[in-house]
Structure 1
Amino acid sequence: MLTSIAYPQSNSQAEVINREIILGLKKRLKAKKGRWTEELPSVLWAYKTTHWTTTGESPFSLCFGSEAMILVEIAVHSPRVIHFNQAENKEGLRSLLDLVEELIDKATIRVAAYHQRVSRYYNKRLNPRPLSDGDLVL
């Protein structure tokens, strides 16, 4: 059964995302127990900007069509900062927004290919048991 992306509660995506956020908080709070509210924004930012194996893209890029710039890039004057032009940036962002649907389609294809790889791996280790009439099955 296919479920809608618009209702993550129905396809258990809400639980998966919450689990990832809690794991990220646990990793960062070893020394600072009770200060999770200070660490939550950075954990959420890390979750939104991390490339996932299944899609090959970050949730941020799937939503906005471009990669987020991290603070380190600004501090060390990366090529993205040095060659920044306000007028060209606006036009570039508009063109990227036009391509978001294509990016999502590519991510959907990657997810299907990932599911096939996982299925093949699982099925390799599966021991088939033939059933005949009269066999009791749970």
Structure 2
Amino acid sequence: MTETYKDWSNKLPYALWAYRTSIRSSTGVTPYSLVYGIEAVLPVELRIPSLRVMIEASLPESEWAKARHQELQMIDEKRLRALYHIQGYQRRIERAFNKKVRVRDLKSGDLVLKSYRAPCPICPDFIEVCEDDALGWITYRLEAIQPSQ
């Protein structure tokens, strides 16, 4: 089978299924379980029944409905745990980012070396930090220093 970029729409449902049934590191759960309250039954579990599928199949319908109702009542708790997991994940990411940051106090009139990847003949090499109180709080804007001729 030849694969081209034109048949992406045929593969989209499979990609979405994989995304929705994979555990996200940020939440610790799958997006599917956050929406529906239970984990998705994978197509392979229908051919080769897993323990979960066999237990659900052996339950009488009334018992299954009762168990499903209890799972749906617990969905808010599951979402709240995912929220706590997200907050912890964000703190870990923030800590990792902040390890690399060096805090520097800039004052009006300080010179800052401008970083750019390619040489630019019209860009100044230094930028001056100027206080700007126009918005009601102290912000800093960078002004280009004109080279003296």
Verify same fold: TM over 0.5: yes
1:97 maps to 2:72: yes
The number of residues matched between the two structures is 109
1:126 maps to 2:101: yes
How far off is 1:88 after superposition? 2.5
How far off is 1:115 after superposition? 0.6
In 1, the alpha carbon distance for the partners of 2:53 and 2:34 equals 22
How far off is 1:57 after superposition? 0.9
In 1, the alpha carbon distance for the partners of 2:21 and 2:27 equals 13
Higher strand share: 2
Identity %: 32
1:11 matched residue in structure 2: none
Bigger RCO of structures 1 and 2 (CA < 8 A, at least 6 apart): 1
Question: RMSD of the TM alignment (CA)?
Answer: 1.8
- Find 1:40's aligned residue among 1, 6, 12: 12
Higher helix share: 1
- Find 2:35's aligned residue among 63, 66, 71: 63
Deviates more, 1:39-48 or 1:80-89: 80-89
CA distances 1:30-59 after superposition (whole Å, capped 9, x unpaired): x52122222111111111111100101111
In 1, the alpha carbon distance for the partners of 2:90 and 2:52 equals 35
In 2, the alpha carbon distance for the partners of 1:40 and 1:132 equals 53
Aligned-partner residue type, residue 83 of structure 1: I
* Greater radius of gyration (CA): 2
TM-score scaled by length of structure 2 = 0.66
1:77 matched residue in structure 2: 49
In 1, the alpha carbon distance for the partners of 2:85 and 2:43 equals 29
In 1, the alpha carbon distance for the partners of 2:13 and 2:107 equals 57
Aligned-partner residue type, residue 29 of structure 2: E
Structure 1 unaligned regions, length at least 5: 1-30
Aligned-partner residue type, residue 50 of structure 2: S
Deviates more, 1:71-80 or 1:125-134: 125-134
Structure 2 unaligned regions, length at least 5: 111-128, 130-140, 143-149
